[in-house]
Structure formats: C-alpha cells, structure tokens
Amino acid sequence: MRVFLIALYACGAPSTSAPPAAHPTPATTATTPATKPRVEARAPVDVIAVLREPLKESSWISPGPAQLVLGGSPVQAIDGAPHLEVEVLEEQGNDVRVGVRLDHARFALWMSRGRMLAIIARDHRVSMPGMHAFGADAMQVVLRAGAQVQRLATKDKDKQTRVRYVGAVEVEAWLPSDVLVDRWPSGHTNRGRVPSGRKTLMLRPGAVIRAEAKWGGAQLAVLNQGYFVDEIQRLDDAWSEVGYEDGDVFVHGFVSKRDPPGRTHRKKPPEHTTPLTPNVKAPEGTCLYINDEPIGFIVGARSLLVEPGARAGAFTLTIDTPWGPIGFDAKGAIETELAACGG
C-alpha cells in the first residue's frame, strides 16, 4: 500500500525539472519598445543675419496670400503683382518662409509652397505631338535654363510635370520632373528678344505657332506679350514659317494669320494703389518687428509713414510692398531715432 501511494503521488505531482509551457497572453508577452523616430533639431534661422548677406541663391514666387508670422493675420498681394525673386529661409509642411528684398526694405513672410515657381535647370527641348524632326531646322520649342514656369500637374509614376511658361510667348507642356528645381543662382534675367537679322512679322497676341503648316497642327506656343516674330519664309497667303528667341525660350514653327487666336494667360497690369504719405525719415537699418520678433529692416535712410504706438517707445512703421501697405512695429526714443536690429 505504501508503495502504491508513493507511485500515485509521483504520477500526479508536477515535475520540478520540466514545468509545462505557459501560453503567453498580451499582458505577459515580452515586447521590444518601438523606437521613436528621432526628430532632428534645427537651429532657429537668424532672419536678420541672412537678409544682411548678399543674395546667392534665389527662388521665384507669384505673390499671393501670406502671413508675417505663421498663424497670424493674412496679407493679400496686390492684384497683378509681378513675379518676385526671394530666398527660402525655412520650410514647414506646405508653408515656406521667404526673405523679400525690396529697394527700400527687407523682411520675411510665410506663404504657401504652391506660390513658388519651378525653374528650368538646363536647356530642354520640349516633346510634343507632331514634332518628329531633329536638328537646327526642326520645328521645336526649347525652354532655356533659368526660365520660370508654373507647375500645373504631376504624374508621379512617369516622373513628369505639366508646366506653363508665360512670357512673350506662352508654352504649356509635360516635362521630366528632374528638369525642374526650386532654387537657382541669383541674378537671372530674361535679356529679351534676340534679333536674327531676318524680316520681322507683326502678329497679334493669341497667334498660335504650330508644328505643321495646317490648321489643327500641334500647338507649340502662343504669342502672349510680344508682337514680333522672325519670318523665315512665307509659304502662301496664309502660312509663314517663323522663329522666336529670347533668354528663356526658342520657338520654330508655322503661323497663319487666318488661324483663330489661342488662349493666353496674360497677367493683369499691377493694381494702382495710393502711395503712402511719408512723415518721418527713418534711420538706415531701422528694425522691423512683429510681436517683438525682428523680421526685417529698412534699407538706407528712408522717408516713411511712422505713427506712435500704444506705449512709450513703440511705433508703427508702414511701407509699400507687393502686398500693399504693411505696418510693422518699430522701437525708439522718438520717431527720428528708431532702433536698428540688435541695437
């Protein structure tokens, strides 16, 4: 009997050498803590220091709604304001902070990335239907390096971007996305029409330059702000072979005086605004503030509109800009002794 009980106990007792495996539960399962992505800290941009340096690399914008401080009250650009050369200071999501350099002032503001123009990084021959010939005599459109274009659409799969160039002629086409950049060495200007020595042909804006001398031929460009093209040869009473070239674009094709005008996107003349009446000559380098943050300064000693602020030593200094008159805060003992940045 004693042997039987010992054997029974041995069969029913848990083994101390090989315990049964426990089924893990979410509460007891060991997990490796997820590694959080490291956020790279960036030093705040010293706007004043950057704006004091010569401009080396620039971007171009089409002035539109903007903010002096992110989340602040918006300022709206003057209708018809021309494209403006700026430099990118900071980027945050879909917003960019740009440095604006006017003759009389420099300051920073925030705006949508969509207001930035793309820049042609290298001379590019545009590919369009009906353009099959190559060589110097080919019917073609070439966009020159440094020309500014508006992005209209993208095909990420094909790495293509549809753009519109608007100048003396207007060109709309799909380009490889790697032809486009956001920054370019500063100082690019379109030197204007390059005369060829040929007879000129005067056309009205809207005249369509085509790849073939027939109605319905592929559209290469539309005459926009210019009136003269080079007539290479007259084919008949209606059609002429023509060329046009300036610092941004080269076009070679056919035009007909009987062709209906094409659509253009001519910019409106800048809206006329009443100039400010200056009352104080502000010292050179007068600092411009928004909410006690220095965001710009006056270039040279300027006669400007200066008004007393809400407290002693505070003033409102208003200047003309492509966004209309903008009032900045200024500091100083009196109106004629306004403080410079860092002073």
- Continuous segment of H or E residues that includes residue 140: strand 140-143
Number of H helices, E strands in the chain: 2, 26
CA-nearest of 188, 189, 165 to 175 is 165
Per-residue pLDDT of the chain (343 residues; tens, 9 = 90+): 343 333 333 434 444 444 444 444 444 444 444 444 443 445 678 999 999 999 999 999 999 999 999 988 899 998 888 899 999 999 999 999 999 999 999 999 999 999 999 999 999 999 876 666 566 678 899 999 999 999 999 998 889 999 999 999 999 999 999 999 999 999 888 888 998 899 999 999 999 999 999 988 999 999 998 789 999 999 999 999 999 999 999 999 999 989 999 999 877 777 777 889 999 999 999 999 999 999 999 999 999 999 999 889 999 999 999 999 999 999 999 999 999 998 6
Render the burial of 96-122: b for 16+ CB within 10 Å, e for the rest.
Answer: bbbbbbeeebbbbbbbeeebbbbbbee
Report helix, strand and coil shares of the chain as percent, to nearest 5: 5, 40, 55
pLDDT of residue 49: 96
Contact 219, 264 (CB under 8 A): no
Distance CA 268, CA 275 (A): 20
State how far the alpha carbon of 247 is from the alpha carbons of 71, 97, 148, 267, 314, in Å: 39, 29, 11, 19, 48
Q: Are 341 and 285 in contact (CB under 8 A)?
A: yes
Cα torsion 180, 186, 192, 198: sign? negative
Q: What is the pLDDT of residue 297?
A: 98
Q: What is the pLDDT of residue 130?
A: 60
The pTM for the full model equals 0.80
In sequence order, the 6+-apart residues with CB closer than 8 A to the CB of 158 are: none
pLDDT computed for residue 138 by the predictor: 85
Provide the terminal-to-terminal Cα distance of the chain, rounded to the nearest Å.
105
